[in-house]
Amino acid sequence: MGEPLCIRCYQAGAQVLWNALAGRLWSRTTIYLSRALAQLAGLPEAELRALVRISFAKVAEYQRRGAVHFHAIIRLDAATTCGCPACVAPHQPGSPPTSSRPLSGGPPHGGCGLPDGR
């Protein structure tokens, strides 16, 4: 195991607490991510979720000094059922979001040719 960056100011108890709570801190990050994005976009959070799908991959590792460290890739995609670019309509703030879940029995959506009610 490695050594702290500064042996005089290293707090072992804080390091143990950080490692123990790292998973919960990541969970909070994912919760507040959609809230922060909605605020930046000027939309209510529910409307943002109807428009954007947030996905991520993360890896947690111990650094040589013993601290938990995360690497994450966060991806934002249009929240469509089929995922095709033709089904993504531009959104005007203040207007209701375009539904990403088409009604069963309706005509093909967005130009991709997939039938509704998949």
The predicted model gives 77-87 an average pLDDT of: 71
- Residue (of 26, 103, 28, 40) closest to 69 by Cα position: 26
When pLDDT is cut at 50, 70 and 90, the band that residue 84 belongs to is low
**Cα distances (angstroms) measured from residue 103 to each of 16, 29, 92, 99, 115:** 51, 33, 22, 9, 10
Phi, psi dihedrals of residue 60, rounded to the nearest 5°? -105, 135
Predicted local distance difference test score (pLDDT) of residue 90: 59
* pLDDT tens-place string over residues 13-45: 988 999 999 999 999 999 999 999 999 999 999
Beta-bridge mates of residue 78: 52
Find, among 74, 68, 61, the residue nearest to 22 by Cα: 68
